[in-house]
Chains A and B, each alone.
Chain A
Amino acid sequence: MKDEKIDLSYVRRKIDQLDNNMLQLLQKRMEVARISAVFKDPDKIDDPKRESEVVKALTDRENALLKGEFIESLYSLIFKESKRIQRETTTLAAFQGEHGAYSESACRLWNPNFAPMPCEEFADIFRGVESGIYDYGVIPVENTLGGMVGQVNGLMLFSDVFVVGAIKLPIHHCLLATPGTDYRSIRRVYSHPQALSQCREYLRRQNFEPMRYYDTAGAAKMLSKENPASSAAIAGKLAASYYNLEIIQEDIEDLDTNQTRFLIIAKEPTRGDGNKCSICFCTDDRAGALFKVLQIFADKNINLTRIDSVPEHPGEFAFFLDFDGNLKDPNIQEVLSRVEDVSANYRFLGCYEERSAL
């Protein structure tokens, strides 16, 4: 906040920002508490000794403004809520990125009762779901403008998780800035390179300098924390509310056909209800090997909705296939057993419901 007069409205903006930061920390605090439940005996969630140690360490830091009694009563509230969270064991769904990411929007749409848990890497989601820390993982697989999310298929290949759902989410980018920013002063815009490229025309019209950042929501987070001069970020609406940013303009993407398809993964497969199936398999390195597999689907008039390939070893490819259908359908069962015969390393990834939020 440069060149700004210190007055009540300045102080209030500062307070809003701090409150927002505190809420983010509390969110993180509760997320960590919830994860600790995975490692605890359900009967031993109450641990008065540990609590008093924590409070002691914190109240030692009391001063004229931050009194020991206040710290104590604040933490008794935090402990109470944190224990409730550990006992209730809300369903956890991991996503990659910072809070406010499009993956989190997809997760909330899939099931508003799930607690979205941010992970730094896609690999953390797979590991977390395999080890049972997270109940579900929400992972983007393809974007209409950006193509397939390569990493994800590679991880899927070497994991034993199942696909239990899919959701298509329209991606609408917003221009965000810290509250009180004069929109005329905006010069630089931070976001993930893919989001920047999806708004290229817009950035050109407004003569903004695109600034590459690791993540859309991460750019929003950085903006709210550091508030660099003359800057804005491109991210989703959810990021605006999460980081207390003002939406300067909505729907700034160049094409309104921008959508991402997310898969929901879990340790156990569904009971076989749904309208979609996913498989993966390898083929021999020879002419017509993939064609032979696809021919089986074509013969039975089954609509394929995705084919992705990832290199498994040098010269060897694994294929991912999504198609319309239900596993209980004898037709589908027959097709799948024939595919298993003609391919190698065949794995059925799941039969699930695909939803569209379009």
Chain B
Amino acid sequence: MKNLKLAAKSAKEGKTVVEVGDVRIGDEFVVIAGPCSVESEQQVLESAIAVKEAGAKVLRGGAFKPRTSPYAFQGLGLKGLKFLKKAGNEVGLPIITEVIDPRDVSWVCEYADIVQIGARNMQNFSLLQEVGKAGKPVLLKRGMYSTIAEWLNCAEYILAEGNPNVILCERGIRTFETYTRNTLDLSAIPSVKEVSHLPIVVDPSHATGKLSLVEPMSLAAVAAGADGLIIEVHANPCEALCDGAQSLDGPGIKQLIEKVNKLNAAYKAL
């Protein structure tokens, strides 16, 4: 970790708080929720209404999708981004979306309040430099095969471009276990907090790939000291074009946020 000039805990006094509108990530516990992919104007609006009502603070949604197969649904692109922005404006939530191509960064920044770098692009250094220059808050997911040190070095790339607003996101790493999609590395949360001032959120949806595990791992993340959660929500999960099996529905996210809030309160009182 000795290469970390800006991401290291010693580089800064106190924690980094990333401000997005009224939301203060790193200061308050923030739930980011929404569909894996923007599929239509109607679908993203329905999901937005559901997550807003449940108490989420940021709306997520993918317009540019990095998919394992080139034949899988690749996202609606710029059109999807417009739908997401419109839905966000309608319900009054800032939006986060992934960017996968350096040529798209300026376009994504026209609409997104937070740009996300996905696990597969964590070490795409030209993309990291581009989002660093763009000046919007960045959520940097951990690569599925990356060490914490490699991950923090990637955050360093963004910080080094003069963009201080980096949020880390643990989304599970690859192990020999096949029951879950990935293995959620909860120890990464306190580890990152030991070495860095950056806020860290957890994505239990991609980490487990199983709806039944989203809630328990969300609560575990709270207990481990995470600054927030990023959860996949679809108004009709069985109709989703992508990752329907791990998406919560409206009542599901509402119940999850209620439990998370209770646990957070109890945790603070400890």
Name the interface residues of A199-247: CB closer than 8 Å to any CB of B: 205-207
CA distance A205 to B107 in the complex (A): 9
A184 touches B110 (CB 8 A): no
Residue of B nearest to A249 (CB): B110
From B78, B103, B104, B110, contact of A205 by CB (8 A): B110
Q: A interface, how many residues as a size bin?
A: under 10
CA distance A206 to B110 in the complex (A): 9
Residue of A nearest to B104 (CB): A184
A183 touches B78 (CB 8 A): yes
Residue of A nearest to B106 (CB): A206
Residue A85 CB within 8 A of the other chain = no
Which 5 A/B pairs are nearest by Cβ-Cβ distance? Answer: A184-B103, A206-B106, A183-B78, A205-B106, A183-B107
CA distance A249 to B78 in the complex (A): 9
Name the interface residues of A239-266: CB closer than 8 Å to any CB of B: 248-249
Binary flags per residue of B100-125, CB closer than 8 Å to A gives 1, else 0: 00011011011000000000000000
Residue of A nearest to B110 (CB): A249
Contacts of A184 in B (CB 8 A): 103-104, 107
14 contacts between A and B (CB under 8 A): A183-B78, A183-B107, A184-B103, A184-B104, A184-B107, A205-B106, A205-B109, A205-B110, A206-B106, A206-B107, A206-B110, A207-B106, A248-B78, A249-B110
Q: A205-B110, A206-B106 are in contact. List 7 more A-B contacts (CB 8 A).
A: A184-B104, A184-B107, A205-B106, A205-B109, A206-B107, A207-B106, A249-B110
CB distance from B162 to the nearest CB of A (A): 16
The number of residues on chain B lying at the interface, defined by a beta carbon within 8 Å of a beta carbon of chain A, is 7
CB distance from B110 to the nearest CB of A (A): 6
CA distance A248 to B77 in the complex (A): 12
CA distance A248 to B81 in the complex (A): 12
Residue of A nearest to B77 (CB): A183
Contacts of B104 in A (CB 8 A): 184
Name the interface residues of A159-215: CB closer than 8 Å to any CB of B: 183-184, 205-207
CB distance from A238 to the nearest CB of B (A): 19
CA distance A205 to B130 in the complex (A): 13
Contacts of A183 in B (CB 8 A): 78, 107
Name the interface residues of B123-143: CB closer than 8 Å to any CB of A: none
Name the interface residues of B35-57: CB closer than 8 Å to any CB of A: none
CA distance A249 to B106 in the complex (A): 12
Contacts of A249 in B (CB 8 A): 110
Residue of B nearest to A202 (CB): B110
CB distance from A148 to the nearest CB of B (A): 32
Binary flags per residue of B233-264, CB closer than 8 Å to A gives 1, else 0: 00000000000000000000000000000000
CA distance A206 to B107 in the complex (A): 8
